[in-house]
Structure 1
Amino acid sequence: MHQQSVIVSGIEVVALCDAVGPMGESLRRPLPETFPGSDPHWDRLRREVPEAFGPRGEWVLRFHCFVLRPPQGPTILVDTGIGAEDSPAASWAPVPGGLLTAMAGIGLAPGDIDVVVLTHLHSDHASGAVVDGEPVFPNARHLVQADELDWLESTGGAVLEDVVRPLTPLIDRVRGDRTLAPDTATTLTPGHTPGHQSVIVGDMDLLVAGDLVLHPVQLADPSVTYIYDDDAVKAAVTRTALLERVRERGGVLAAPHLPEPFVPVPDVWATHDG
């Protein structure tokens, strides 16, 4: 499969398609219920972004991870996808994921990754970091916000036991922003989860968003919330502020679940505005 890529501030950013499919029935809800406040937008979005919908009008998600290859500095992987057939994401995502195959297609082996940034610890973003109890990227430091780890440790679950525990020797607990390489840094973007983080390339020339933006409806109206946000109000405030910064810069949004992994925000807002 051809992997889409862009070069921003001299840094190659490659979108790696891990999977495509609808949300499983255990989590699936009607779209207006999934995205409260979205009712005015669906007819237009179905016309303009038909690839975001299945034959019965359901949400069809892309599951992308992103590799950043600076000319000097570490090879960075943002998120690790849905994982193997028995991963914590198996109850609702189209496992197994194809991340490692996609990486091989651009000449990368798991041992080539120096840094893994986990935007958050939901199963579709973190499960691919561990297979059969062993870290998949053994040479990489795994950057996770301390607030995210604290939250997961308080709530428990399969991601904690099957992913975080085996990764513990490789995890760096991050508090706030962290420089990864020249012109590349993490930034705290809370709301979807307490310790959600995104990656900025350049001066907001590209934002690897994680689940800051999940569906084109949130580009039509960033105030539209998501039923599975931990703090929907905070998520909307964070999303609106960050998208405005990208828009003002004329930058690119790299979002894992959108039909296209790289979206020039001004064009999208112009298309869906009004």
Structure 2
Amino acid sequence: MNESFPAVRRRTFLLAGAALTVAGSGVAEPASAGPAGGKGRPVASRSAGAFKVIPLLDAAGPFFLDRQAAFPEATPHDWDLARGIDPGAFGPGETWQLDFRCYAIRGPRGRLTLVDTGVGPDGSPAGGWAPTPGRLPSELGHAGIDPADVDAVVLTHLHEDHFGWSVGLDGTPMFPNARYVVQRSEVAALPDGDAALAYVVEPLRATGQLDEVDGGVRLATAPGRSGGSIRVIPTPGHTPGHQSVVVEHGREQVIVTGDVLVHAVQLVDPGVAYRYEADPDAARRTRQRLLTEARVRRTVLATAHLRQPWTEVVPEPR
């Protein structure tokens, strides 16, 4: 992505329902049930080339802050527009309902990448505020995915609701054959005593599975005309080393956004800051850049916290 930050006008984005035509897949596809004899069930997915992106819902529930407290700059008009995009996020009164979602990316030759690992079990660091236990292990089973077959786990950032199932409560990696990809700057920015250090960073360092990277990195490439690739890109602001995952083929792409945006109000007005962004100005610039450039290509956003997994980015009429 380039380094210019053009202004993004409001009302540029529309929510793509599961049956609507979207970039990269034509329509929602059932994910593969896995190997012969597996017990997977159909899961709505999106594709870019040879890569299939599968949403995995770990948990859902109300946030501990009302939406106006979480997004203090949002106007009544912003909320009206956001309700049209993601009505399920609006609970009684000012409550904010959200999902906690991970994504699996299935590539050629059975290659598997997991993006984020959710809130985790009871007793995980997210348990003080998020709806634990999460159900990622059973969701993987429903999608026909054995944790031992996962080659890479990308942690978009080291907040509790994104690394919860990375390890068990005893520190044993849940994905024993995977490298866990995180930006070096994300780890370096953790303060002493941060829950992520003891819960996930130190155990993964001990097993040699923590893969600290610097900047954009290509994780996988599929050969041939139906190929495509997976890469991580820095998307800082929500945290210092936040990263997103781009799955692309030609002009088609699916972007797993992490927490670049956490509510539809940040789609209708990307300038609206979230209370828990480490650097609101950097987060705003990142969001504007990502969404503006997404308009240039046929892009589907795969979001962590909106009530539906897929958001199609469409250009405004000229």
The question of a shared fold, defined as TM-score above 0.5 by the shorter chain, is answered with yes
Partner amino acid, structure 2, of 1:16:
L
Partner amino acid, structure 1, of 2:158:
L
Residues 59-95 of structure 1, C-alpha deviation per residue, up to 9 Å, x if partnerless?
A: 1111110001112473100000000000000011000
Instruction: Tell me, in whole angstroms, the C-alpha distance in 1 between the residues paired with 2:92 and 2:307.
Output: 15
Q: Is the 8 A contact 1:187 1:199 kept in 2?
A: yes
Does 1:188 find its partner at 2:228? Answer: no
Structure 2 equivalent of residue 4 of structure 1:
44
Q: 2:209 aligned to 166, 170, 179, which one? A: 170
Instruction: Tell me, in whole angstroms, the C-alpha distance in 1 between the residues paired with 2:288 and 2:51.
Output: 26
Partner amino acid, structure 2, of 1:57:
E
Q: Is the 8 A contact 1:127 1:159 kept in 2?
A: no
Structure 2 equivalent of residue 118 of structure 1:
155
Q: 1:160 aligned to 149, 174, 197, which one? A: 197
Relative to the length of structure 2, the TM-score reads 0.79
Q: 2:255 aligned to 203, 207, 227, which one? A: 207
Instruction: Tell me, in whole angstroms, the C-alpha distance in 2 between the residues paired with 1:241 and 1:164.
Output: 30
Does 1:149 find its partner at 2:187? Answer: yes
Does 1:249 find its partner at 2:285? Answer: no
- What is the Cα-based RMSD across aligned positions, in Å? 1.7
Q: Is the 8 A contact 1:204 1:245 kept in 2?
A: no
Instruction: Tell me, in whole angstroms, the C-alpha distance in 1 between the residues paired with 2:181 and 2:145.
Output: 20
Does 1:37 find its partner at 2:77? Answer: no
Listed as ranges, the matches of 1:50-89 within 5 Å are 50-72=87-109, 74-89=111-126
Q: Is the 8 A contact 1:3 1:17 kept in 2?
A: no
Bigger RCO of structures 1 and 2 (CA < 8 A, at least 6 apart): 2
Change (3 A) 1:178 1:47: closer
Q: Is the 8 A contact 1:130 1:136 kept in 2?
A: yes
Instruction: Tell me, in whole angstroms, the C-alpha distance in 1 between the residues paired with 2:110 and 2:79.
Output: 43
Relative to the length of structure 1, the TM-score reads 0.91
Residues 77-118 of structure 1, C-alpha deviation per residue, up to 9 Å, x if partnerless?
A: 000000000000001100001111000001111111100000
Instruction: Tell me, in whole angstroms, the C-alpha distance in 2 between the residues paired with 1:73 and 1:194.
Output: 33
Change (3 A) 1:61 1:209: same
- Which structure's residues are more often helix, by fraction? 1
What secondary structure, in the 3-state scheme, does the structure 1 residue paired with 2:103 have? strand
User: 1:249: how far off?
Assistant: 0.4
Q: Is the 8 A contact 1:67 1:76 kept in 2?
A: yes
Q: Is the 8 A contact 2:118 2:164 kept in 1?
A: yes
Q: 2:306 aligned to 253, 258, 266, which one? A: 258
Q: Which has the larger radius of gyration?
A: 2
Instruction: Tell me, in whole angstroms, the C-alpha distance in 2 between the residues paired with 1:130 and 1:76.
Output: 16
What secondary structure, in the 3-state scheme, does the structure 1 residue paired with 2:259 have? helix
Structure 2 equivalent of residue 135 of structure 1:
173
Instruction: Tell me, in whole angstroms, the C-alpha distance in 2 between the residues paired with 1:238 and 1:265.
Output: 16
Q: Is the 8 A contact 2:238 2:280 kept in 1?
A: yes
User: 1:10: how far off?
Assistant: 2.3
Structure 2 equivalent of residue 239 of structure 1:
287
Instruction: Tell me, in whole angstroms, the C-alpha distance in 2 between the residues paired with 1:262 and 1:241.
Output: 19
What secondary structure, in the 3-state scheme, does the structure 2 residue paired with 1:83 have? coil
> Across the two proteins, how many residue pairs are aligned to each other?
264
Structure 2 equivalent of residue 20 of structure 1:
60
What secondary structure, in the 3-state scheme, does the structure 1 residue paired with 2:278 have? coil
User: Once the two structures are aligned, what percentage of the paired residues are identical?
Assistant: 44
Q: Is the 8 A contact 2:68 2:94 kept in 1?
A: no
Change (3 A) 1:47 1:206: closer
Q: Is the 8 A contact 1:145 1:175 kept in 2?
A: yes
What secondary structure, in the 3-state scheme, does the structure 1 residue paired with 2:281 have? helix
Change (3 A) 1:45 1:165: same
Q: Is the 8 A contact 1:217 1:224 kept in 2?
A: yes
What secondary structure, in the 3-state scheme, does the structure 2 residue paired with 1:209 have? strand
User: 1:47: how far off?
Assistant: 5.0
Instruction: Tell me, in whole angstroms, the C-alpha distance in 2 between the residues paired with 1:242 and 1:173.
Output: 23
